[in-house]
């Protein structure tokens, strides 16, 4: 049941804006991500109490994945920094939300993706969802109208909702689909595009799925251009470089690598032709708005380092970064536009090092797993590792958690892949 619910969430979540949901008094909006997280928590608790031995079995699964330990230590440190916060109640609430919307998604993917077919299905659903998001994005680029804004609450005093539904213009209209900001859409796309390319070049998927993946890949690159995010374009370029390097390594070992390299080159050429016109406008010159944005980021860095001197180890507490290190826009809204700086201010140097250790562990784990299993599985794992690199690179310029459920799901898929691969090898040795 949890696995099916997870697949449904993968498809529906990026199509359901976080600012749309049920509102109870002064409580946060109950959107699809929060509803799913609460439902999963309820099911996990009931399974633990009603099914004898179930909890112990799941714990053994987690012990087999090194990522589980790193993620657990990271969130444990966040709890410690919350205990020393100037507003511990609020900080504990923030960590609880992070556990629901991040750690739980890791658990679902790591524990309930149990077979090769499950692994392929999860990637397939991520690709289908990406293709749908790309469709809405390209329609928005042509109409210059955000379809999802119509579903926002008619009257809201929340700054983030008002900011989400307002038009984003910098040297032209910037698309954002159902996300809070064009940069968040770009962040989602740099997560999905490599995965879609991995599906397209993987002969294990059917023809229809692969053509949908091709559309999501090329359309996703073009949509990234229309978000107006220069960082998104640069990160996509970085992902292509990493992808070509990994393909070159595998090409030395098998002819299938040559085929993958050819397909990757074709996608790059077609995407380059489609995005050249819009991309040219994007990279020429720097508007005054962007110059101010860059200056604001420098100011945020300086403010973060100043706060760090007062609390370098434990930080000021989760959820409080924008109260201590921030810049204000014309409307007086405070922000700290880097997740790395946010973790540094909130949970100190150790908190940031633990998060970086998680990223390094995820990537190195995929590299160690590449020789394991068949060639087809390796292609999917390479795509996941590239997606993680791109999505986390965005953390340097963005501190919005909207795509974190997908990112932590990818971490979970790595752990699941490791368990499935090891299990297959053991079974082969005993048959």
Supply 67's token pair.
């990522």
**What are residue 327's phi and psi, to 5 degrees?**
-125, 160
Q: Report the DSSP beta bridge partners of residue 5.
A: none
Supply 166's token pair.
């307002």
CA-angle at 80, arms to 101 and 316, nearest 5°: 90
Residue 251 is predicted with a pLDDT of: 58
Segments of the chain scoring below 50 in pLDDT: 255-256, 258-259, 262, 266, 269-270, 273-286, 288, 291, 425-431
DSSP per position, 213-282: HHHHHHHHHHHHHHTT-HHHHHHHHHHHHHHHHHHHHHHTT-HHHHHHHHHHHHHHHHHHHHHHHHHHHH
How many C-beta neighbours within 10 Å does residue 428 have?
8
Residue 264 is predicted with a pLDDT of: 53
Spatial distance between the Cα atoms of 89 and 96, rounded to a whole number of angstroms: 11
User: Backbone dihedral region of 171: left (phi > 0), alpha (psi from -120 to 50 degrees) or beta?
Assistant: left
243-286 residue pLDDT tens: 877 766 665 555 445 445 545 554 554 455 444 444 444 444 44
Residue 115 is predicted with a pLDDT of: 87
Give the list of residues 6+ apart from residue 75 with CB closer than 8 angstroms, or none.
95, 98, 99, 103
Helices 255-283 and 207-226 pack at an angle, to 10 degrees, of 30
Spatial distance between the Cα atoms of 418 and 379, rounded to a whole number of angstroms: 14
Q: Are 385 and 366 in contact (CB under 8 A)?
A: yes
Residue 377 is predicted with a pLDDT of: 65
Spatial distance between the Cα atoms of 321 and 171, rounded to a whole number of angstroms: 30
Place of tokens 């799925």: 209
Q: Report the DSSP beta bridge partners of residue 30.
A: 22
Spatial distance between the Cα atoms of 211 and 380, rounded to a whole number of angstroms: 16
Spatial distance between the Cα atoms of 169 and 289, rounded to a whole number of angstroms: 10
195-212 residue pLDDT tens: 999 898 888 888 999 999
Least Cα distance to 377 among 351, 414, 342, 343 occurs for 414
**What are residue 129's phi and psi, to 5 degrees?**
-60, -40
Supply 398's token pair.
């963005």
Q: What beta strand segments (E) does 314-392 contain?
A: 327-328, 334-335
């Amino acid at each position: 049941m949890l696995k099916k619910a997870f697949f449904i969430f993968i498809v529906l979540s990026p199509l359901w804006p976080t600012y749309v949901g049920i509102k109870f008094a002064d409580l946060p909006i109950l959107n699809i991500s929060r509803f799913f997280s609460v439902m999963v928590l309820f099911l996990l608790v009931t399974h633990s109490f009603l099914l004898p031995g179930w909890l112990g079995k799941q714990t053994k699964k987690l012990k087999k994945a090194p990522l589980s330990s790193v993620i657990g230590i990271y969130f444990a440190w966040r709890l410690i920094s919350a205990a020393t916060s100037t507003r511990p109640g609020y900080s504990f609430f923030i960590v609880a939300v992070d556990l629901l919307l991040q750690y739980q998604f890791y658990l679902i993917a790591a524990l309930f993706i149990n077979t090769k077919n499950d692994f392929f299905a999860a990637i397939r659903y991520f690709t289908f969802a990406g293709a749908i998001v790309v469709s809405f994005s390209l329609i928005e680029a042509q109409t210059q109208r955000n379809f999802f804004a119509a579903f926002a609450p008619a009257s809201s005093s929340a700054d983030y909702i008002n900011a989400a539904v307002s038009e984003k213009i910098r040297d032209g209209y910037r698309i954002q689909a159902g996300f809070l900001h064009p940069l968040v859409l770009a962040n989602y796309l740099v997560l999905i595009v490599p995965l879609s390319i991995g599906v397209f070049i993987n002969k294990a998927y059917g023809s229809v799925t692969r053509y949908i993946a091709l559309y999501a890949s090329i359309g996703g690159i073009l949509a990234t251009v229309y978000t107006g995010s220069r960082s998104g374009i640069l990160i996509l370029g970085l992902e292509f470089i990493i992808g070509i390097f990994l393909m070159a390594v595998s090409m030395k070992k098998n002819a299938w690598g040559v085929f993958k390299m050819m397909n990757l080159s074709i996608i790059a050429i077609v995407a380059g032709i489609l995005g050249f016109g819009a991309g040219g406008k994007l990279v020429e010159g720097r508007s005054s708005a962007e110059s101010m944005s860059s200056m604001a980021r420098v100011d945020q860095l300086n403010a973060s380092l100043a706060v760090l001197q007062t609390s370098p180890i434990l930080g000021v507490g989760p959820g409080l970064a924008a109260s201590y290190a921030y810049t204000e826009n014309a409307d007086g809204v405070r922000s700290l536009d880097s997740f790395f700086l946010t973790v540094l201010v909130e949970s100190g140097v150790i908190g940031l090092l633990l998060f970086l250790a998680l990223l390094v562990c995820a990537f190195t784990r995929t590299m160690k797993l590449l020789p394991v299993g068949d060639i087809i599985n390796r292609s999917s794992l390479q795509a996941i590792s590239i997606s993680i690199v791109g999505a986390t690179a965005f953390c340097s310029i963005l501190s919005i958690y909207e795509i974190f459920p997908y990112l932590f799901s990818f971490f979970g898929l790595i752990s699941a892949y490791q368990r499935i691969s090891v299990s297959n090898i053991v079974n082969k040795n005993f048959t």
